Structure 1
Amino acid sequence: MKQAEVPGDSPDITIVSTMYRSYPFLEQFLGDCLEALADIKCNYFEILLVNDGSPDDSLRYSLQRKVDISQLVVVDLSRNFGHHHAIHAGLQHARGNLVFLIDCDLEVSPLVLVEFYRKLHASGCDVVFGYQEARKGGLFERITGDLFWKGFNLLSDVKIPENIVTERIMTRRYVESLLQMGDRNLFLAGMMSWAGFQQIGLPIVKKQREGRSTYTLMRRVGLMVNAVSSFSAQPLVWLFNIGATITLLSFSFAFYLVFRKLVFDDALLGFTSIMTAIMLSLGILTTAVGVVGIYLGKVFDQVQNRPSYIVKDIYR
């Protein structure tokens, strides 16, 4: 593990980003970071990159750049733990009085640090978060993105501004408070809203990523399930209400059939309706068991108390 001598006090700003298939972007990303830091006249900083088990040359290139960027810090995780876990690792190892979080895929240029920095100092708040006024991408990406945020806010007790992005600048006291949360099932957007403090938004425009995004449809669905189950028990309440409603309707229908038999001497017909009710009940029961299983899985993960990530090496 390579270690460099560092001053005893904290840097003014730490720029935190994660690397996964990021090699094509790193040269421009680092150059823009240095330009942004020069624009705000910050001489004491660190740029912290977390290698989230990237299979390309991201780690090799970032270590090479330490030759000309002494303030570059590389945290190498033992494997791929996922975007949110890698961000969490970056926040835990960041030492700056301010922490600027950004993805390195250049959908948002690091030059926006200047706007975030000035907004933070002008407002005196603890967090300036970025958000999109209009989502980028094609029709499918915009629709699924809107459905994600509307679905989360509908099902969750924690309300999050829609179309927020990774990019944000945070004070040290906010980051320390965020790290006190002991969640093992990480959904950082929800955690960051839940933590409170004064937070204001800054509209930014995201460019279309070059190359294929690592967030597939199935990963988006998985993120939605994890997000809702980590921050709300509302789906369980809805299942109870649905179950109670179906039970009431079933008793009412049974009473109706008995009434028809006693009063009009009707045969207890209605095979189609009965089979439909049975199939509907079975589907709802299976879904209910699955939802309860998801929550039990979350409890199991939390009780195991495994670390969110494992660091293989730190290069300072």
Structure 2
Amino acid sequence: MNKESGSDHTPPEISIVSTMYRSRPFLDRFLAESLQALSDIKCDHFEILLVNDGSPDESLAYVLERQADIPQLVVVDLSRNFGHHQAVQAGLRHARGNLIFLIDCDLEVSPLVLGEFYAKLRETKSDVVFGYQEMRKGGQFEQMSGGLFWKGFNLLSDVKIPENILTERIMTRRCVEALLQMGDRNLFLGGMMSWTGFQQIGLPIVKKQRKGRSTYTLLRRIGLMINAVSSFSAQPLIWLFNIGVIITLLSFSFAFYLVLRKLLFDDTLMGFTSVMTMMMLSLGIMTTAIGVVGIYLGKVFNQVQNRPNYIVRDIYR
């Protein structure tokens, strides 16, 4: 059942926005610390908006129960699991606050950091204060793979993003409205938020190790990397073109060299091994090139389909 209350049309001062997917173990503490953080900055007019991204556990049932003692709690229930970035977009679209504080509810970053973000925003009069890690958390593999992600993205993309940025950030209403105007169907919010511009200031945050297993597997991280780069840059296509030109020039030069040696020295042309090596090299490059072009065509296909990024089943206010 869709429950909307329209008695108070005054926008909240702050909306805390988060998404839920297998989040039930974190919600008790997340809500308690969110309320504490709002009390610390003396914010009485607020909302806490949670987006249920098709969570298979009891997250939705729990937060609906908590609306009895937290009337400012808003729940946006999506029709299925659409993905983290799509759920975040849904949360930003339905948040009504003059300021929007975006945070993951897994407690790797405590909601109590809201005070630091709020003070930094007021002090700098900026539109966005985003969190970033000075030192990545986790083991050596997680630190290395995360660092390579951001370096690889900035190398390949036309949009440059500060390394090791976090989901956590506080944004003004005009910045959120600008973000929502973008018609991207292939979402990478980190790049989109940087692309919008405005005055953005970083705030170093220490991120804790998540309790329980993360839903971001290695394959999902690789998929995110491919989606991020292909959504914000045509550089891979340009690189493929340049590689193709270089290989073509080298092939013509090598062919000219072989013919010249045959004419001048009557040498035997290179045999089966060299031919097969060149064929395998060419086949590998062509297959890779077709794959990269296919990724971009898939992006175009998704964009022209113009399907919504998510479908809302119910909104509970």
Which TM-score applies when normalising by structure 2? Answer: 0.99
- Structure 2 gaps of 5+ residues are none
Shift of 1:271: 2.4
User: Do structure 1's residue 221 and structure 2's residue 219 form an aligned pair?
Assistant: no
Aligned to 2:51: 50
* Counterpart-to-counterpart distance in 2, 1:216 and 1:137: 14
C-alpha distance in structure 2 between counterparts of 1:168 and 1:3, whole Å: 27
**2:75 aligns to what SS in structure 1?**
strand
Partner of 1:207: 208
- What's 2:253 paired with? 252
- SS of 1:202 mapped into structure 2: strand
> What residue is the counterpart of 2:169 in the other structure?
168
Distance 2:109 2:9 in 1: 32
C-alpha distance in structure 2 between counterparts of 1:46 and 1:274, whole Å: 68
- Aligned mates of 2:247, 2:271 — CA distance in 1: 18
Structure-1 separation of matches of 2:186 and 2:7 = 33
Distance 1:29 1:6, change over 3 A: farther
Q: Hey, what does 2:310 align to over in structure 1? A: 309
User: 2:178 — aligned with what?
Assistant: 177
Q: Which residue of 2 aligns with 1:60?
A: 61
Letter in 1 for 2:20: M
Percent identity, please: 78
Distance in 2 (CA, whole Å) between partners of 1:267 and 1:112 is 74
Q: Output the CA distance in 2 between the equivalents of 1:5 and 1:275.
A: 72
Cα deviations by residue, 1:232-259 (Å, 9 ceiling, x for unpaired): 0000000000000000000001001100
AA aligned to 2:310 is Y
Measured after TM superposition, the shift of residue 6 of structure 1 is: 4.1
Deviates more, 1:69-78 or 1:3-12: 3-12
Aligned to 1:189: 190
Q: Which residue number in structure 1 is paired with residue 93 of structure 2?
A: 92
1: CA distance, partners of 2:68 / 2:95? 20
Indicate the SS of the match to 2:282.
helix
Q: Distance in 2 between matches of 1:3 and 1:25?
A: 26
Q: Deviations over 1:150-171 (max 9, x none)?
A: 0000000000000000000000
Q: CA deviation at 1:3?
A: 2.9
Query: Map of 1:279-294 to 2, 5 A cutoff?
Result: 279-294=280-295
CA-to-partner distance for each residue in 1:86-105, whole Å, 9 max, x for gaps?
Answer: 00000000000000000000
Q: Does 1:27 align with 2:48?
A: no
Separation of aligned partners in 2, 1:187 and 1:6: 35
Per-residue CA distance 1:38-61 (angstroms, 9 max, x = gap) = 000000000000000000000000
Give the TM-score taking structure 1 as reference length: 0.99
Instruction: Look up the match of 1:106.
Output: 107
Tell me how large the CA RMSD over aligned residues is: 0.7
Q: Structure 1 unaligned runs (5+)?
A: none
Q: For 2:7 and 2:228, locate their aligned partners in 1 and report how far apart those are by CA, in whole Å.
A: 38
Aligned to 1:86, what secondary structure does the other structure show? Answer: helix
Aligned residues: 316
Name the SS for the 1:207 alignment partner: coil
The 1-side partners of 2:161 and 2:151 are apart by 9
Distance 1:93 1:3 in 2: 12
* Residue equivalent to 2:134: 133
Specify the SS of the correspondent of 2:19.
strand
